[in-house]
Amino acid sequence: MLKQQRQFDAIYKANYQKVIRICMGYVNGNKALASDIAQEVFVKVWKSLAGFREEAAISTWIYRITVNTCLLELRNKKYTQPYQEYHQLPETQEEPYADKEKQLKKMYQCIAKLSKGNRAIILLELEGLPQKEIAEIMGISHEAVRVRVHRTKNSLTKCVKNDSI
Amino acid sequence: MTAFEDLKSQWNNQNQPETPVDGAKKVVDKINAIRSKQRITNIVLGVTVMVLIAFFFYISAHKFPPVMIGLLIMMGSLLARIGLEFYSINYLKKMNVSVAYEAFKSQMATYYRQRIKVHFVATPLIVISYCIGFVLLLPAFKENLSSGFYSYILVSAVVVLVVLGLFIAKQVKKEIALLKEMKHSD
Residue range B131-145: mean pLDDT, rounded: 91
Q: Tens digit of pLDDT for each residue in B50-66?
A: 888 888 888 888 888 88
Question: Would you list the DSSP string of chain B?
Answer: --HHHHHHHHHHHS--PPPPTTHHHHHHHHHHHHHHHHHHHHHHHHHHHHHHHHHHHHTTGGGSHHHHHHHHHHHHHHHHHHHHHHHHHHHHHHS-TTS-HHHHHHHHHHHHHHHHHIIIIIHHHHHHHHHHHHHHHHHHHHHHS-HHHHHHHHHHHHHHHHHHHHHHHHHHHHHHHHHHHHHH--
Residue ranges covered by each domain of chain B = 20-58, 61-186
Residue pair A28/A109 in contact by the 8 Å Cβ criterion: yes
CA dist., res. B122 & res. A126, Å (int): 45
B interface toward A at CB cutoff 8 Å? 3-4, 7-8, 10-12, 14-17, 19-20, 23-24, 26-28, 30-31, 34, 92, 95-105, 108, 178, 185-186
Write down the pLDDT at residue B35.
86
Assign B185 a pLDDT band (cuts: 50, 70, 90). low
Q: Do B28 and A128 count as a contact with CB atoms less than 8 A apart? A: no
CATH class of the domain at A2-162 = mainly alpha
Nearest CA in chain A to B186: A117
CB A45 within 8 A of CB A65: yes
Q: Domain extents for chain A?
A: 2-162
What is the pLDDT, as a whole number, of residue A126?
94
Distance CA A119, CA A26 (A): 8
Are the Cβ atoms of B7 and A31 closer than 8 angstroms? Answer: no
How many Å apart are CA B155 and CA B134, to the nearest integer?
Answer: 13
The 10s digit of each residue's pLDDT in A87-113 is 554 555 556 667 778 888 889 999 999
What is the overall mean pLDDT for chain B?
88
Whether B116 and B169 have beta carbons less than 8 Å apart is answered as: no
Of residues B111 and A55, more confidence is placed in: B111
The ipTM of this complex is 0.86
The CA-based angle B150-B154-B155, given to 5 degrees, is 115
In chain A, residues with a C-beta closer than 8 Å to the C-beta of B4 are 153, 156-157
User: Is the Cβ pair A64, B92 closer than 8 Å?
Assistant: no
Residue A18 near residue B19 (C-beta atoms within 8 A): no
Q: Average pLDDT in the B146-165 region? A: 92
Instruction: Say if residue A83's pLDDT is above 60.
Output: no
Distance to chain B for A156, nearest Cα, Å: 8
Q: Which tens digits make up the pLDDT trace of B83-125?
A: 998 898 889 888 999 999 999 999 998 998 898 888 889 999 9
pLDDT for B61: 81
Q: Is A7 helix (H, G, I), strand (E, B) or coil?
A: helix
Q: Which residue has the higher pLDDT, A4 or A123?
A: A123
Band of residue A81 on the pLDDT scale cut at 50, 70, 90: low
For A37-62, what is the mean pLDDT?
A: 90
Interhelix angle for B23-58 vs A31-48, to 10°? Answer: 80
pLDDT class of A1 with cuts at 50, 70, 90: low
pLDDT value at position B171? 83
Average pLDDT over residues A143-152: 96
Of A13, A69, A115, the CB nearest to B97: A69
Residue A46 contacts B, CB cutoff 8 Å: yes
Contact predicate A27/A33, CB 8 Å: yes
Tell me the percentage of chain B whose pLDDT exceeds 70. 97
- Name the residue of chain B whose CA is nearest to A67's CA: B101
Nearest-Cα distance to chain A for B24, in Å, is 6
Distance CA A114, CA B147 (A): 60
Q: Considering only alpha carbons, which residue of chain B is nearest residue A140?
A: B102
Burial of A77 from C-beta contacts in 10 A (0-12 / 13-18 / 19+): exposed
